[in-house]
Structure 1
């Protein structure tokens, strides 16, 4: 049975991705700062720590066997006016999103390339495409992830490894507080679908790219309720 690593597996979207991939018969290693009880194997890991991340990948491989799938869903969000973003905040946002993607992918790719089989999916954001007020540091980090996905896809395609992204819009998860402007009825009426995406709807896009989309690489799916078309 194939195995896959999902980072950010403790969040609402991460848990949905774990469940969806398990539904497809995959064994899932969940990487997060807290335990991932739903995963087949759980690693508590700080993805900004290169040595700790590499060690966690090794333990997951020992527990589940060869890892042929990777979903990079770890991250965090904050809203800050551009002129208030400090160097540390900008660098930290980049490290969590782009850095974590690099660290896990670099640990997994040698095995994928040797086996000539693998699928990597990075969870980005609609803000990487459309931007957003007070979101410059977050949008920049997610935009960097999209650039890395396209470049890596071209590099490893000859070895049989696919690399894609999913860029959700506002999603109905606990990370979106009840007073969020994205839950405002006026905003929802402005969406073509008139509703936020659900975690499972995003997870289904990830499932397709990991399991079924064998003809797709270097692409980004946009489950954003039509917010960016």
Structure 2
């Protein structure tokens, strides 16, 4: 890894596509040195590390290397995700655990890796990704909604714990977003659903990335907040 002199370091999980990819692009344009963590190479980030965010040892090793070679991680954005519509009766234990490992475990692993350094320096920002389905729920989304709900709990509790040290923790809860995570035949893409949204369209990943940038750079008063760019899907 070759450092970009003077640039702040931001780590983004799920950076190979969708919201994560849009986030590394937005932060890079704002002068951040971006490091994408994903199962696949993150071509839009300045640096890419391929790993499984649900593996604490892999995440810890990656953060140690990043901070050794690039400098302190000042922003950590946990956008890695997994989505599937499955009725309750068809959800196996393996799928339950996968949802929790990726969403809750991925955020927890990143937090445990970056928090000690942020606390020692007296500043830093962490953003977890939840969903409007964690608030509103939906047919066939029990395991996804449950996993995303745990993210809100972690973010708010950790925000209260770390605020006195100068470290801010917040969350973003997008509504249906126009990314590859939504299959072409997804019910969230049906014209009948899109017409019901007050904004009349899906959110774009670039718009969600602007929400990330706001919490990272401008929303310095935001602690334990859940920002919801959702085209009015949950009001």
1:166 counterpart = 2:172: yes
What is the rounded CA distance, in whole Å, between the counterparts of 2:96 and 2:65 in structure 1?
Answer: 31
Deviation at 1:171, TM superposition (A): 0.5
2:222 is aligned, of 208, 216, 219, to: 216
After TM superposition, the score normalised by the length of structure 1 is 0.98
Aligned to 1:6: 12
Deviation at 1:175, TM superposition (A): 2.0
Aligned to 1:103: 109
Alignment map for 1:172-183 (pairs within 5 Å): 172-183=178-189
Q: CA RMSD in A?
A: 0.9
What is the rounded CA distance, in whole Å, between the counterparts of 1:164 and 1:131 in structure 2?
Answer: 21
What is the rounded CA distance, in whole Å, between the counterparts of 2:206 and 2:85 in structure 1?
Answer: 25
Deviation at 1:62, TM superposition (A): 2.1
Aligned to 1:54: 60
What is the rounded CA distance, in whole Å, between the counterparts of 1:170 and 1:58 in structure 2?
Answer: 34
1:65 counterpart = 2:71: yes
1:190 counterpart = 2:168: no
Q: Is residue 41–residue 63 contact of structure 1 (8 Å, CA) maintained in 2?
A: no
Select between 173-182 and 126-135 the one with higher mean Cα deviation: 173-182
What is the rounded CA distance, in whole Å, between the counterparts of 2:90 and 2:185 in structure 1?
Answer: 23
Deviation at 1:53, TM superposition (A): 1.3
Structure 1 gaps, min length 5:
none
Secondary structure at 1:31's aligned position in 2?
strand
What is the rounded CA distance, in whole Å, between the counterparts of 2:171 and 2:76 in structure 1?
Answer: 11
2:25 is aligned, of 19, 23, 27, to: 19
1:33 counterpart = 2:39: yes
Deviation at 1:70, TM superposition (A): 0.3
1:117 counterpart = 2:115: no
Structure 2 gaps, min length 5:
1-6
What do residues 161-190 of structure 1 show as CA deviations (whole Å, max 9, x unaligned)?
Answer: 000000001111122222221111111111
Deviation at 1:60, TM superposition (A): 1.5
Q: Which runs of 4+ in 1 moved over 6 A?
A: none
Q: Is residue 3–residue 27 contact of structure 1 (8 Å, CA) maintained in 2?
A: yes
Q: Is residue 41–residue 60 contact of structure 1 (8 Å, CA) maintained in 2?
A: no
After TM superposition, the score normalised by the length of structure 2 is 0.95
Secondary structure at 1:178's aligned position in 2?
coil
What is the rounded CA distance, in whole Å, between the counterparts of 1:83 and 1:190 in structure 2?
Answer: 29
What is the rounded CA distance, in whole Å, between the counterparts of 2:26 and 2:117 in structure 1?
Answer: 24
What is the rounded CA distance, in whole Å, between the counterparts of 2:43 and 2:185 in structure 1?
Answer: 29
1:77 counterpart = 2:91: no
Figure out how many residues of one structure are paired with residues of the other and give that number: 229
Aligned to 2:4: none
What is the rounded CA distance, in whole Å, between the counterparts of 1:179 and 1:95 in structure 2?
Answer: 26
